[in-house]
Amino acid sequence: MKSIILGYPRIGEKRELKKAIETYWKGKTSEEELSNISKNIREKNWLEQNKLGADLISSNDFSLYDQMLDMCITLGCIPQRFSNLTGLEQYFAMSRGIQKENVDVIAMEMTKWFDTNYHFLVPEFSKDQSFSLNAEKIINEHKEAFALGINTKPVIIGPVTFLLLGKEKESGFNSLELLDKILPIYGQLIKTIDALGAEYIQIDEPILATDLDMKGQEAVKRSYEYFGNLNTKVKLILANYFDCYGENLDLTLKLPVDVIHLDLVRCRKQLEDILTHPSLNRDKILSLGVVDGRNIWKNNFKTSFQVIEQVKEKLPPENIWIGTSCSLLHSPLNLDFETELNPEIKQWLAFAKQKVDEVVTLKTLVIDKNNTAAIEKLRTNTVAIESRKTSNLIHNEIVKERVNAITEEEARRKNVFSIRKEKQHKALNLPLFPTTTIGSFPQTKEVRSWRAKFKNGSLDKNEYNKLLKEETEKAIRIQEDIGIDVLVHGEFERNDMVEYFGEQLDGFVFTQNGWVQSYGTRCVKPPIIYGDVSRPKPITVEWSAYAQSLSNNWMKGMLTGPVTILQWSFVRNDQPRSETCTQIALAIRDEVSDLEKAGIKIIQIDEPAFREGLPLRKENWNTYLNWAVKAFRISSSSVQDETQIHTHMCYSEFNDIIHSISNLDADVITIETSRSQMELLDAFVEFKYPNEIGPGVYDIHSPRVPSTEEMKQLLEKAQAVIPTDQLWVNPDCGLKTRNWPETKVALENLVKSAKHMRIKALQEV
């Protein structure tokens, strides 16, 4: 019996990787220094897991930006526009774009990794796509670990997942047609890893958690039969996670792989199907993912033992592995760093380091029921699990009663959009192609330092608020000077769009160092929802009202929606997610009502995680979409017709859920479209989306500044398919991570492009 860890967080104990990369981008850290910092993080990770007793530890789970980007480099799948660049310049240009003398290249597209808040770079494919092997990273990292006495299992993304998550950049072919070209490269890679002396290689195929058609299933079958004929000694671990194998189960059990990994957190029900399946080979090893890699609650050892004992009835112990459900990339690093958490809540939690210990402890107890240290851990675990069930911290009867009393009328606006639109246009009097931004403005080093000083007590509240008010006014004047129509206050008082709200809602608790990677160097510190949620007092009203008092332009109130707050938090697992989401929706509803009373006539309720929450299997979609749509509508429907409700969504494919997006009934939706060159508008066009829409024309995740002409071309593409009176002009997302000089130039170009479109529209009339 072995313990297996599918992957480990790579940002470092104190986000060292983030800081090193960002200073490298600024020219303050050399490539050698960045390499050394990266190596130190990897070594700490390996040694920590080894010290805790993990048997199978990963390599190649580290990345400077993204594992899919790394796989593109490994397979030589590099878009032509980056071909004149090399090394790290090429790598970071692919992820962020690049703009310098004689070089102006847009980044690759980015979207969500299945149903997580992790973003990956989308591979690009053409009909004549070629591939070539560059295994340097994988070789070097395996050797680094081996020098420490650890024979790691390299982790790679499987060929079918890689191809199906990529994007065909020309019409007339399917990415799976490239399988015959890519399999020999994978074959070379597996042989290379075999030559290193690795005993195992982990091939991640989470695409098996989705509804594969016959072509997809056939591609899986061909791929692993090809690998099975390579005549190598290295053993193959097939890793699926985030859901069941479903209709892919029979296919999977017949594949010539040595180990099949099961996510038994997200899909416990698949175990019985597997154990009773006629294709189950008793010589096959089952890797049981019983420790949750995506949430922070302590594992219930007794429940895990039941699962393991169920498998032991069918398989010998040596053919049973115990592991994490998925990579621990989605977990914070170490609970030991949390010195300020309520001790009662802290005892219920486990971060990545503690989860490794849980995996090892479970294995130890299964092998040796008399192990003294493991028995004590079992006792502590049992006490924590039982105390959570009966804690007075968790339940609020007033909140529960309010949820139960919700009526259908509370989830509907007073009138349909066509009536609201007429009233809003009259009340707001905005021009064609109205310009706005998504919410935040650059959080400079000074702003961040004020927040840090306020939190550590070296800056009092009055002085802190004075500085924030000055920064808010500065942002408003800049917007007025540029000529933006609908302003935002900049959100300088906020840290993270979810954390800020969670800090002021009951039922949430926060960590000091619970960081997880969202994309690249972007790390977030998700709140922990441990109990019933309510809003004790207004959250944003004072700042929004202050900002509106500074300008004659309309000011947007900026809120985070209930689904996104849910998705981007670590959510309690002792009640349905739908119930928790409804509690949050009622809290946001109260905030919306108070904003309207304070004179805010445009209110944006951001839902960038709406698509992310969609279950991987279509059979489960309707259940999720029904409660998610209802939660948004509860949060947004208390206002008068004249009050305009906006929402924002980014980095999502909308085609298959466009009916539900429409059912949100937001007056205006803003979406990310610049990286896809407006391709993401197709869903809204085919559906004939009835409400107003702001397709992003400025990619804020890249340091490059688009020209006025570039933005005009994007708007012309949008106007060709969306009626003029439905179009807004805005960036893709908030501007928090950008700096002021590039932001000003980009927004000036944005306003110029909108004015050009207005003049053109009037001339055509």
Digit-coded pLDDT (tens) for 622-634: 999 999 999 999 9
- Model confidence at 651, in pLDDT bands (50, 70, 90)? low
C-alpha distance from residue 700 to each of 124, 494, 703 (Å): 21, 19, 7
Between the alpha carbon of residue 587 and those of residues 331, 410, 560, 608, the distances in Å are: 27, 13, 11, 18
Measured distance CA(324)–CA(4) in Å, rounded: 7
**pLDDT given at position 650:** 75
The SS3 call for residue 262 is strand
Reported confidence tier of residue 141, pLDDT bands at 50, 70, 90: very high
CA nearest neighbour of 673 among 654, 692, 687: 654
pLDDT band, very low/low/confident/very high, at 101 (cuts 50, 70, 90):
confident
Q: CA 655, CA 659: separation in Å to the nearest integer?
A: 9
pLDDT digit string, tens, across residues 19-42? 999 999 999 999 999 999 999 999
How many residues make up the chain in this entry? 765
Mean pLDDT of the chain: 95
Query: C-alpha dihedral over 378, 382, 384, 387, to 10 degrees?
Result: -170
Question: CB-based contacts of 757: which residues, under 8 Å, 6+ apart?
Answer: 432, 433, 712, 715, 716, 719, 729
The predicted pLDDT at position 105 comes to 93
Considering the chain, what percentage of its residues have pLDDT values greater than 70?
99
Q: Residue 5 pLDDT more than 80?
A: yes
| Residue range 46-71: mean pLDDT, rounded | 98
pLDDT in tens, 404-445: 999 999 999 999 999 999 999 999 999 999 999 999 999 999
Q: For residue 682, what pLDDT is reported?
A: 78
Annotated binding site for L-homocysteine: 438-440, 491, 606
User: 38 in helix, strand or coil?
Assistant: helix
Active site residue 701: yes
- Whether the predicted pLDDT of 290 surpasses 90: yes
Bridge partners (DSSP) of residue 324 are 291
pLDDT of residue 303: 95
* This prediction's pTM: 0.91
Q: Can you tell me the distance from the alpha carbon of 578 to that of 476, in angstroms, rounded to the nearest whole number?
A: 38
**Beta pairing partners, 56:** 4
pLDDT bin (cut points 50, 70, 90) of residue 53 is very high
Between the CA of residue 58 and those of 7, 42, 680, what are the distances in Å? Answer: 6, 10, 36
The Cα–Cα gap between 575 and 578 comes to: 8
Residue range 334-374, pLDDT digits in tens = 999 999 999 999 999 999 999 999 999 999 999 998 999 99
Looking from the CA of 161 toward its CB, the CA atoms found within 13 Å total: 23
Q: What are phi and psi of 97, to 5 degrees?
A: 80, 170
Cβ(604)–Cβ(557) below 8 Å: yes
Binding residues: 15-18, 112, 117, 438-440, 491, 522-523, 568, 606, 612, 648, 650, 659, 672, 733
Q: Give the containing element (helix H, strand E) for 221.
A: helix 214-228
Mean pLDDT of 10-23: 96
Q: How far is CA 115 from CA 188, 621, 698, in A?
A: 31, 12, 25
Say yes or no to pLDDT of 500 above 70: yes
**Active-site entry in 119, 261, 330, 701:** 701
* Whole-angstrom distance, CA of residue 515 vs CA of residue 331: 8
- Residue keyed to tokens 């009097």: 429
How many Å apart are CA 406 and CA 286, to the nearest integer?
A: 45
Segment 446-465 mean pLDDT: 93
Half-sphere exposure of 453 (CA within 13 A, CB side): 16
Q: Are 737 and 522 contacting, i.e. CB atoms less than 8 angstroms apart?
A: yes
3-state SS string over 283-330? Answer: CCEEEEEEECCCCCECCCHHHHHHHHHHHHCCCCHHHEEEEECCCHHH
Residue ranges of the binding site for Zn(2+): 648, 650, 659, 672, 733
| CB neighbour burial string for 509-539, b if at least 16 within 10 angstroms, e if fewer | bbbebbbbbbbbbebbbbbbbbbbbbbeebb
| Residues placed in the known binding site for 5-methyltetrahydropteroyltri-L-glutamate | 15-18, 112, 117, 522-523, 568, 612
What is the reported pLDDT for 652? 62
